[in-house]
Structure 1
Amino acid sequence: MKLLSGIALFAPLVSALQNSVIPGWDLQSTTKAGDDLVKLSAPGYDSSSWYSISARSTVFAGLLEAGVYDTEQLFYSKNLQTTVDYLPYYSPWLYRSEFTLKSEQGSHFFLQTHGITSKADIYLNGHKVADKRLQAGTYGGHTYDISDIAGDSNALLIQAYPTDYDKNFAQGFVDWNPYPPDNGTGVWRDVNVKQTGSLFMGRLRVVHDYKPGVSNVRVTLKADVTNLEDAEVSGALEGAIDGHGCKPSGGMKQNFKLGRKETRTISTSATIKDAKIWWPHAWGDQPLYTANAAVHVHGALSDQADQVDFGIRHVSKEVNSHNDTIFFVNGHPFQVLGGGYASDMFLRWDEKKFEAQARYVLDMGLNTIRLEGKEEQPELYAIADRIGLMVMAGWECCDKWEAWKYNDQVTATLWNDNDYSTADYSMRNEATMLQTHPSVLAFLVGSDFWPDDRATAIYLDALDDLDWQNPIICSAAKRGYPESLGPSGLKMDGPYDWVPPNYWYGDQLGAAFGFGSELGSGVGTPEMGSLTKFLSGDDLNDLWTKPRKGLYHMSTNVSAFFDRHIYDKGLFERYGEPKSLEDYLLKAQIMDYEATRAEFEGYSAKWNADHPATGAIYWMLNNAWPSLHWNLFDYYLHPAGAYFGTKVGSRIEHVAYGYDEGNVYLINHSLDKKGSRKIEIELMDTDGEVLASKAVSAKTEPNTSKVVSPVPGLEKIKDVAFLRLLLSNADGEALSRNVYWLATKNDKLNWDKSSWFSTPVSEWADLTALDDMKTASVSAAVKSTSSTSSTVSLHNTADVPAFFIRLNLVDGKGDDVNPVLWTDNYVTLWPKEKLELEVTYPADAGAVSVKMSGGNVGK
């Protein structure tokens, strides 16, 4: 066996000879199967009594698939903690598969891994292929030459060692949620076997010279090619580019000679005339080209690379005079608005679910997800490419990945020489997978802390070798940086727990200036239809009656976020002590909506400020398991207050209320929308009396935000008033509708006593008058417009506002329909106002109906 040093392959490649992914495994613990790996890896050994699992599966995910555990039962209440014996996961586990190969004269065979958590021994046909020092790290991808030990019948055995986050390069969840019992141990990505001729070809890379304003683009296809023979070999690389009617000029063929066992990068280029440019979703289309390449010897195919899709676009960044990073896409300043993505707790990949999550991101008006050490499967990036969703990839914090002498926040073992080697292979593996994807915005080689100089050099060399054309950022914080990368320009100053809406209009910490790499107000309370799936009756009672009791579905028991006392203090003080669980959940949704809207509006409003807000990654987008906070939609894909607050606050054309000075901002996230706009401002008390009204004309410009008017009548608020902002274009078409509930004064923040996760409030806004509103009468009608969509018409027939109307689509059994897309929801209607909303849902939802509830409306 030989290792092809420096070649990091990822996706299964289509070879003219043979190439296949191991389709599944037999799984068993060494405590039951023993540790005689030579015997266990011999063809014909009977492993039929082991668990049968799929190709990509951690140990615990495999046991779930095999029916040993049930996810629904496991996620209920504290069952994960109380019903699972963790002892079996302190020993190695075995993955075994048998397969046949058909050898041809002059052929060679390779075993390709793409990451096994956290480390593994690999045996084939009784021979050791690799040990745990080499096959190490969640992202450690390797290509092993197994030509001398492969046969017609083969048995592959992988011994995966238990993961220790302080000692191994793995995927941890820090304080996001409880750790999985196996710590993610196992073969979580594909393993494949490849057959070639005398030349071996690595994954195809695509490099182009596009700059904004250029129409003809030179595209170069590159691959590392290895001569497997003991003599010089003459070969030819032949490439092709297709898509959008392109006819690249000149033939894409490059002849070459490789010496004995030599590896060299071979390339071929062509020019695409009038190239189609790839854009983020809100800015344009996402045209993708395809590239193919193969190597031939004496006219015969020796190896063929996996077809890759690529987009032509230009991404850059700069650190401005405020030491903040600002990105540019195709020459235009790009304000990043997004959320931190969480993979499944057991690292199970569900393509359909991720596609729904990605659609939610775009529906909310966001443009980016951040992967903190959750690089996932290659399909994630393909989906992002197709829909125009930007991705910030990178390593994670708080464990072995950041075990530097200057990092006093982790207790992990400092790196040794082998760790640096593992980091090298990891970077090369991930860069190889990401290199062609236009959705990739940047790679963060650190999170809370920057890598040391040796690791930085390794990362940069790997990225340079693999033709990386995207920004590289040293970390997600401003604590320090290596000289070779310069300052990150990203801040990590919190908050992570609840803060009032005027926080974002301040001038400290996480407020709307600079680039917040992870920040949010700790919200994301699921609605009842989701809560009852994972909380017991006692859990539900604790949720609303015991703010300081640790809740298993918050964070880990050593986390600052194990209870909800900061969140609940804000809810109780501002909205009044809840009278029941139902009342608590209503107030929670009101507060969540208010919190996320304020954050995204604050960053959008301050896009062109003297100290501009260049980006915000909400903490977090989603959860790894059913959770009570840190999400914009829950684990079951149900959108609630946090979702719709974000959706309103991130509209592409929008009018927003500035909590700091009482001004109205006109916001434009587009590249092409401009011209005259009309803004209608109206302030109304809870009894329906208009306190002030004003119409403003303004002109909007692409990719800008500006103040257009103060809000009149704020001094007339006696307890609580509603502010409605309506934006329309010159033709009277409605572009944005936005309703606030305002107290006589804002919350007063005690900035000097801020912690890393929150800023306390010394004086509270009083919104309790919302509890005493007169009941509004709202009629609702639902009309089906297709098998996957309906229109909901609302009419407030009362003389008072109808506050915070929640609409929930349910199936014939009364269960929530998910995923679901609403044009708007959790809305407040003016007296006599009519509003028509659209809802889209899965075709298999069956008969659907809409449940209505809210602040001062009946069910």
Structure 2
Amino acid sequence: MRKIIIRRNAMRGFLKLVALVFLTGLASQNSWSREITYLRDNWRVQSEKEIQEIKEGGAKLSGPGVNLKVWYPASVPATVLAVLVENKVYPDPYYGVNLTKIPGYVSGRWLAMPEDSPFYPSWWYRTEFAVPESYQGKNLILHLDGINYKANVWLNGKKIGDEKDVIGMFRRFEFDITDLVKFRELNYLAIETIAPGKLPQKRYITKQLEATTGWDDHNPYPPDANVGIWQDVYITATGAIAIKNPYVQTKLEIPQLNEAHLTISADLVNRTDKEVSGELTGTIENINFKQAVKLAPREVKTVWFKPEQFKQLNIKNPRVWWPSPVGPQELYDLKMEVRVDGKISDDEKVTFGIREITSYINDEGWRTFKVNGKNILIRGGAWMTSDMLLRLTPKRYEALVRYAKEAGFNMLRSEGFSIRETEEFYSLCDKYGIMVTQQIFGRNIPDEKLAVSCVEDMILRIRNHPSLVHFLGHDETFPTQTLDAAYRELIAKYIPDRTYQPHSGAFNVKDRFETGGTRTGTLELWTYAGPAHYYTHKKDGAWGFAQSGGIGGVIADKESIKRMLPDDQLWPQWSEAFSLHTVIQGAEYFNYLRKAIYRRYGEPKNFDDFWWIITANNYESARGMFEAYARNKYSATGITTWKYDASWPAALTWQYVDWYLLPTGAYFGAKKACEPLHIQYSYDDNSIYIVNSYYREFKGLKADVKIYNYDLTEKFSKTEIADVAPDGKTELFKMTMPQGLSKSFFLALKLYDGDGKLVTDNFYWLSTTPEKPARRYFGAVALSKGSFFDHSDLRKLPPVKLSLSCQNKNSGSDQAILVSVKNPTNHLAFFIKMELLKGKDGLQVAPSYWSDNYFSLLPGEEKLVLVSFAQSDLETKEPVIKVGGWNIEPVDCAPGR
């Protein structure tokens, strides 16, 4: 299979045509029959209001002689607003309050686009391209893999697609252009895109009405509603028979895992008006299979290879795909080709994994997952569209999915208000071992036929990915009976080894029996849940499966906030820009968090003070939440926190990795809690546990437990030797807190293996004042009542200057630096933050993957920390390690200094 990409800025006129034909002709020299030409560059975009020839319609616009002077140059995929921002029509919408100044912007959540919006009229995309001469005699198909929301499609003066049929953001469209394409001259493609939101102007009680992005309440709505072309446009050339939708369904022998049974299918399409016979073959490494096929004119037929008839599809001792970190992510390639008259007519390749992941409802009514026959505790987050303008880059996908893996997460729940994710996303989840639950929609779509078409296309597109394990119907609501039945039918037909539930989960845990075994957290997930919350509450604590758990608002990295907000908008907190860069509800939810942390840490004096106390609170709360689920497995079966990533630069929202690809304090708290062999403290009964997420036993582990007062006098010390079973947990002991503890005190845990090597450590700041906030409706805290940990003394810790050294280390394909951090003083070095900079005064390298961060060091302690990164992200600058922290004097080092 050969891919060709038409690039922008080619030569004009005849020279451009000759160059394109020559280059694409060269690309046809290959052993595969199918050829693909991607039409990514050399596009122009403009509103119908500004197009001189608009009265002559698509017939004129899809031909020569169009005045392009007022059109904006573009590459696709790109939404209209993304094109306009790229062309500097509007300033960066992600900075300050620039977004609000874009015409058509509406504050808050909306479904109906204002009629005076510049995005209400149609926007046209137009390109010119040459077709390789090698395509002559083949069947040519134009593919639109994603438009929003409707489109009229014209090629060389002919209308080939109408908005009545070309509708729905999550559908792929194909047009047979065999008889329309011209060789040795330019072809002209014009696509009229029509925005969603052309609805009556009124208040809607739902959050989603059309088969498009919904954005819910976690993000401003883009003024253009993402109108435009958001996925690839390309042309394929095949012979008489084409292959579509190849699929590999795997069945493992459980628990031995010593044999896998593969069922393989593919749809064959006869592109001609004649009966055609051929042979369909498949190859998986050294396994080969084939069968003869015959198709009537224009017939579409599903061809099956079943292990009962094709014995070679019963594979002995297969390489098995596991989620991270419990095993390797083994993948196979299936190559299929169909021959007609002995010549290759078409070919396809798909990647798949052999694994068996199931879910079921346990005796307490909670959804529970098994992977290859073994229980697995689900820990992860809700995945949001990675960019509000749908600028979906490989780097952003790679960073976010790898960050999840590095944090010890094993599942991402793809949110139903977001896009239906791309191949890039799912392939990276396959690579890094991150399971995916795919939510189908956020709410009911009134055009149910369209909704079902979108779901059918999505399933056919993503079903080969081993990372895809489960489907959710809708967010916090039930689908209609018609939609629910249709979802179940589609899954049973196309992907029967995945499970489904209709509803993400209700606030009332009793409703889990109807929703499918999960719950949504109560208001604490949006407002405030401290580190003890998930231990001390049952109905909304670490029990069962929470599709949306949470700790309240999470603040972005300090550098990120200073990149998104002007200096005069940083403080006081609820400035115009700061409020915009929260969520569309603004201060309503996050005032709970703000007031709670002020009671815990005292009121901040400035922005830096505010940032440190909320980041520390985020760390301990996220760690406490995930640790509570780990201790309580398997009466607790899983949690996907609301939410994982941010779709635009958010200062304070629900996010573990911010838009600038910098992890938050909550991320590193979760990373500590989710490490696969872990020692932890329980806030409810003062117990110490070792938790093992591996499927192997550990013997002779040594745990050191120490309590220190605020002045670092030792108040408690105990060492325990223990074993921990595979996927098990071992309670070491329950502590009786010693007398004479200071208001704030510290708990230091260390875990060593049988050879005395440090496996991990964990450091807690605790208080003699109990954490027992009063509760209001739906679980929100009553801030004027109850009690909170008192950590106000932490703000009086004396300053510490650390000793620092660093050296380059090899780390696979990454660059890496090993940093030694030592506390040479007699004081506690509290909440140390490590940063990798592009030069001494540069921005942070993002992404950068730290083995640990936001840690503390007692007097004389030293820690080795590894950071991995891509050399190209340094942008030719020297890598500099900068270390700061709660009470840390900034210091830096560079390898080789």
**TM value normalised by structure 2:** 0.86
Q: CA deviation at 1:29?
A: 0.9
- Alignment pair present for 1:321 and 2:352: no
- Which amino acid letter does the alignment assign opposite residue 828 of structure 2? P
State the alpha-carbon separation in 2 of the partners of residues 351 and 851 from structure 1.
28
Between the two proteins, the alignment pairs up a number of residues equal to 811
Q: CA deviation at 1:111?
A: 2.5
Q: Does structure 1 retain, via aligned residues, the 8 Å contact 2:710–2:742? A: no
Q: CA deviation at 1:715?
A: 4.7
State the alpha-carbon separation in 2 of the partners of residues 537 and 105 from structure 1.
61
Return closer, same or farther for 1:466/1:661 CA change in 2, 3 Å cut-off: same
Q: CA deviation at 1:52?
A: 2.1
Return closer, same or farther for 1:104/1:850 CA change in 2, 3 Å cut-off: closer
Match of 2:477 among 444, 449, 456: 449
- In the alignment, which residue of structure 2 is the partner of 1:395? 440
- In the alignment, which residue of structure 2 is the partner of 1:380? 425
1:688-699 paired onto structure 2 within 5 Å? 688-699=712-723
State the alpha-carbon separation in 1 of the partners of residues 562 and 802 from structure 2.
28
1:612-651 paired onto structure 2 within 5 Å? 612-628=635-651, 629-651=653-675
State the alpha-carbon separation in 1 of the partners of residues 683 and 55 from structure 2.
65
1:460-859 paired onto structure 2 within 5 Å? 460-478=488-506, 487-494=515-522, 495-543=525-573, 546=574, 551-556=579-584, 559=585, 564-608=590-634, 612-628=635-651, 629-751=653-775, 753-755=776-778, 762-785=786-809, 788-812=815-839, 813-844=841-872, 845=874, 846-859=877-890
Output one character per residue of 1:538-573: Cα deviation in whole Å (capped at 9) or x when no partner: 321122xx59997110011xx265563111101211
- In the alignment, which residue of structure 2 is the partner of 1:163? 196
- Which amino acid letter does the alignment assign opposite residue 673 of structure 2? G
- In the alignment, which residue of structure 2 is the partner of 1:28? 46
**Matched residue SS, 1:76:** coil
State the alpha-carbon separation in 1 of the partners of residues 578 and 85 from structure 2.
27
State the alpha-carbon separation in 2 of the partners of residues 615 and 219 from structure 1.
30
Deviates most, 625-634 or 192-201: 192-201
Output one character per residue of 1:416-442: Cα deviation in whole Å (capped at 9) or x when no partner: xxx222122211221122111111121
**Matched residue SS, 1:755:** helix
- Alignment pair present for 1:304 and 2:347: yes
State the alpha-carbon separation in 1 of the partners of residues 215 and 822 from structure 2.
46
- Which amino acid letter does the alignment assign opposite residue 363 of structure 1? E
**Matched residue SS, 1:402:** coil
**Matched residue SS, 1:204:** strand
- In the alignment, which residue of structure 2 is the partner of 1:412? none
Return closer, same or farther for 1:318/1:742 CA change in 2, 3 Å cut-off: same
1:5-44 paired onto structure 2 within 5 Å? 16=33, 18-24=35-41, 25-33=43-51, 34=54, 36-44=56-64
Q: Does structure 2 retain, via aligned residues, the 8 Å contact 1:478–1:489? A: no
State the alpha-carbon separation in 1 of the partners of residues 575 and 761 from structure 2.
34
Q: Does structure 2 retain, via aligned residues, the 8 Å contact 1:743–1:767? A: yes
* Unmatched runs of 5 consecutive residues or more in structure 1: 1-12, 404-414
- Alignment pair present for 1:435 and 2:466: no
Return closer, same or farther for 1:140/1:255 CA change in 2, 3 Å cut-off: same
Return closer, same or farther for 1:510/1:137 CA change in 2, 3 Å cut-off: farther
Q: Does structure 1 retain, via aligned residues, the 8 Å contact 2:769–2:787? A: no
Q: Does structure 2 retain, via aligned residues, the 8 Å contact 1:107–1:196? A: yes
State the alpha-carbon separation in 1 of the partners of residues 494 and 475 from structure 2.
22
- Alignment pair present for 1:458 and 2:500: no
Match of 1:90 among 104, 111, 120: 120
Deviates most, 217-226 or 55-64: 217-226
Return closer, same or farther for 1:83/1:298 CA change in 2, 3 Å cut-off: closer
- In the alignment, which residue of structure 2 is the partner of 1:182? 224
**Matched residue SS, 2:450:** helix
- In the alignment, which residue of structure 2 is the partner of 1:116? 147
- Alignment pair present for 1:256 and 2:283: no
Q: CA deviation at 1:509?
A: 4.0
State the alpha-carbon separation in 1 of the partners of residues 32 and 168 from structure 2.
27
Q: CA deviation at 1:320?
A: 0.9
Q: CA deviation at 1:455?
A: 1.3
Output one character per residue of 1:400-454: Cα deviation in whole Å (capped at 9) or x when no partner: x425xxxxxxxxxxx1xxx222122211221122111111121223222222221
**Matched residue SS, 2:579:** coil
State the alpha-carbon separation in 2 of the partners of residues 104 and 718 from structure 1.
80
**Matched residue SS, 2:412:** strand
- In the alignment, which residue of structure 2 is the partner of 1:347? 390
Deviates most, 170-179 or 92-101: 92-101
Q: Does structure 2 retain, via aligned residues, the 8 Å contact 1:435–1:468? A: no
Q: CA deviation at 1:68?
A: 2.9
State the alpha-carbon separation in 2 of the partners of residues 300 and 428 from structure 1.
32
Return closer, same or farther for 1:440/1:569 CA change in 2, 3 Å cut-off: same
- Which amino acid letter does the alignment assign opposite residue 154 of structure 1? N
Q: Does structure 2 retain, via aligned residues, the 8 Å contact 1:524–1:633? A: no
State the alpha-carbon separation in 2 of the partners of residues 479 and 627 from structure 1.
26
CA RMSD of aligned residues (A): 2.7
State percent identity of aligned pairs: 28
**Matched residue SS, 1:858:** strand
Output one character per residue of 1:365-419: Cα deviation in whole Å (capped at 9) or x when no partner: 111212113332211111221221222222342xxx425xxxxxxxxxxx1xxx2
Return closer, same or farther for 1:525/1:467 CA change in 2, 3 Å cut-off: closer
Output one character per residue of 1:633-664: Cα deviation in whole Å (capped at 9) or x when no partner: 22112224222211111111111111111111
State the alpha-carbon separation in 2 of the partners of residues 108 and 757 from structure 1.
61
- Which amino acid letter does the alignment assign opposite residue 616 of structure 1? I
State the alpha-carbon separation in 2 of the partners of residues 225 and 630 from structure 1.
45
Q: Does structure 1 retain, via aligned residues, the 8 Å contact 2:320–2:353? A: yes
Return closer, same or farther for 1:788/1:106 CA change in 2, 3 Å cut-off: closer
**Matched residue SS, 2:491:** helix
Q: CA deviation at 1:712?
A: 3.7
Q: Does structure 2 retain, via aligned residues, the 8 Å contact 1:682–1:723? A: yes
- In the alignment, which residue of structure 1 is the partner of 2:87? 66
State the alpha-carbon separation in 2 of the partners of residues 500 and 666 from structure 1.
22
Q: Does structure 2 retain, via aligned residues, the 8 Å contact 1:280–1:390? A: yes
Return closer, same or farther for 1:843/1:228 CA change in 2, 3 Å cut-off: closer
**TM value normalised by structure 1:** 0.89
**Matched residue SS, 2:592:** helix
State the alpha-carbon separation in 2 of the partners of residues 782 and 225 from structure 1.
58
Q: Does structure 1 retain, via aligned residues, the 8 Å contact 2:579–2:587? A: no
Match of 1:220 among 263, 282, 287: 263
State the alpha-carbon separation in 2 of the partners of residues 614 and 851 from structure 1.
39
- In the alignment, which residue of structure 1 is the partner of 2:74? 53
Q: Does structure 1 retain, via aligned residues, the 8 Å contact 2:690–2:732? A: yes
* Unmatched runs of 5 consecutive residues or more in structure 2: 1-29, 106-116, 198-206, 891-897
- In the alignment, which residue of structure 1 is the partner of 2:27? none
State the alpha-carbon separation in 2 of the partners of residues 604 and 789 from structure 1.
31
**Matched residue SS, 1:88:** coil
Output one character per residue of 1:805-839: Cα deviation in whole Å (capped at 9) or x when no partner: 22222232342222222221211112222222222
Q: Does structure 2 retain, via aligned residues, the 8 Å contact 1:669–1:702? A: yes
State the alpha-carbon separation in 2 of the partners of residues 758 and 15 from structure 1.
63
Q: Does structure 1 retain, via aligned residues, the 8 Å contact 2:102–2:223? A: no
Return closer, same or farther for 1:114/1:561 CA change in 2, 3 Å cut-off: farther
State the alpha-carbon separation in 2 of the partners of residues 104 and 852 from structure 1.
59
